[in-house]
Structure 1
Amino acid sequence: MAPDKFRGSLTAPEVAGHLAAGLRAARPEVPVVTVPVADGGDGTVAALVASGYSGLQTNVTGPVGNPVVASFAMGGDRTAVIELAEASGLRRLPGRATATTALNATSAGTGELIRTAVLRGARRVVLGLGGSACTDGGAGMLTALGAKFLDAYGRPLPPGGAALRRLARIDTRDLLRVPVIVASDVDNPLLGQRGAAQIFGPQKGAGPREVEALEAGLSRFSEIARRDLGADESDRRGAGAAGGVGFAALAFLGATLRPGIEVILEQLDFAQVLSGARLVITGEGSLDEQTLNGKAPIGVAREAWRAEVPVLAVSGRRTINRDTLRRFGIDHAYALTDLEPDPTVCISQAGPLLEQLAQDIAASHLTRQLTTHWG
């Protein structure tokens, strides 16, 4: 069982647990292994902790200066897995996203998480980007790691992307550097029509004026970074991820950017877990066109295909036809809406419906021949 979360309903560990319960109820003789997965966005830390990573907590600065208790995961190889959304995500805003929060939101808490992880022994950081409230180019994160962003009078800039319009100098002498792998599927550049401000700013409460101000701030940031550091990363794939935190990681920390699900499956040693498996069940809340862009179910299916293990998918809803899914390695797909047409009921009763789906899967796919192999 290797599902991602059902957003707004169940975490990945909860999805895996309900699927396992339904399968065991129908076929108690079949061994079931649960390996919740994630793609670097919301729920990444929870998935890794459920698979054996140590879960650690610390107090950090939220996206608008509000105090937040944020978690990160630490592996036995001293790799810290940090989820930006834990510290600097939209869900960490004390209220709803507004034009003001769009201009002033900071990624500082994410930098504080990285610093804490290093102080607790981390030798490498996997940084999952997604669900951010900020469009500050990662300046807040870098400030928390020791960099200084100064105006023309040598004063530190206040938090937020809009303040970067007044950036005159960057001082990185005290910047804490650690090897970083960015786990993200966003391929947007920092600037322009596909950039962080114009594409993602409106999702964070920015109107046309705020988008213009944020674009100007990010453009100034890129210009000064190029002048002071020789860092020209604004056009790189993924630089626009999480309001430009991707740019900061690439330009200042020398990060490597990789598809989120690939990184997380590697951390879970998923290829080894697959050894001996006869069936994989993956899924996420909505199987749609975005799924095909390398989201968790496709990454799981790719690994299972290499191991020659068949794959089924479950979801809350499905808008992709089964023939398309088969081309991506998913042999069959089930949705909660197959059982219950009312989406609100699917959300509120996702757990019991998943258990029913798992029992249907057992009846259709766990044949006598298959169970004899296990028996």
Structure 2
Amino acid sequence: MSDLENKLIVHVIGETDYTSFPFERKAFEGRNKVFGTSEGDQYIRVIGAMLGFDNWEKRQHDEARPGLTYAEAVGHSILNLVAGTDTLNFALEMGYNLVMLGVFRAPDLHDGEPSFSARMLGVSNVSTIDVDVHAGLARDGILAGAPLILEDIRSGMFSEASIVAEMAMEAIRIGALTSGHDEMDDLDGPLPNAIMFRDIVTEKGLEATIVCACDSDLAAQIRDHEGDLEIGLVAALVPTPFGGVGYWVWQIAPDTPFSYVQEQFVSLHSFPNATYDRLKSYEKVRFLVVDRNTHESTRTVLLNTQMLGIGAFERAALDVASREPEGDFRAGCEYVMQTHEPMEFLKRAQG
């Protein structure tokens, strides 16, 4: 049986330290929501104090009181704090196994004593108990939610001197609200005619989507199309003189007057990838048709991730990448474009 089977991990990132606690999923049953109450604030103080002063590694196994270690006290606080929250309930209902929580410095109290506040950072699915992997996903959540976190700072929830303020300000400064991915609303000018993986921020945290950016007239036709919108995909690993390239050919709305195909190129050395990990964890993924000039989403289609072969593609890509050095990805893409015609590629792949 897997170490993660029937488990829900809560990862907490604080001012200086971070940690993960795996709980039995049933441990959250029957507990009342205390997040946002005075009882919840007590748990936040315990967590903040242990993860906020760079002493977690040294003190977690010390006794907070006879028969109770600091690690056990923090675990008890985390369990009670997240129980009953919308984020926790969403994770349990949808089958996610990682919930992420941030506990950071708030403005100091009047007597100068440090104070802490907490924010849920989203959910995900993981296949490892590695706390550093969980921390990377939590940081993704912070960077993606930077505008919301800055609002928290302006409202006095978090201190301007907190680490989360520093991270959010840096994300805004460089204009990147996800790790390596710009939010469409923050891009000036038209988007490229392309299909791309994008993280978007929702009330439940980060959601990985597939975005199809196209010209305005085509986006309008797709919006106005009556009935279901069919989306097809053929994905392959193409060897080139410059190294292997992931070649995805999407077929949008076949058998309609506005049917078209769109190529997408994927670097085989880009895995593991947090956005792709989120994609493959979903039963269904949102495919967003976007007007590339206005950045407006005109149509949404839910695609079955298993039918798309997202997990199988990653396994094949990792296998190839483990056997060949990283090449010139851009040159490889140009080679594929010169040697492969998308419609002919589709016909051969479909027999």
Give the TM-score range, shorter chain.
under 0.3
Larger Rg: 2
Q: Using structure 1 for the length normalisation, give the TM-score.
A: 0.27
Asked which structure has the greater RCO (Cα within 8 Å, sep 6+), the reply is: 1
Larger helix proportion, structure 1 or 2?
A: 1
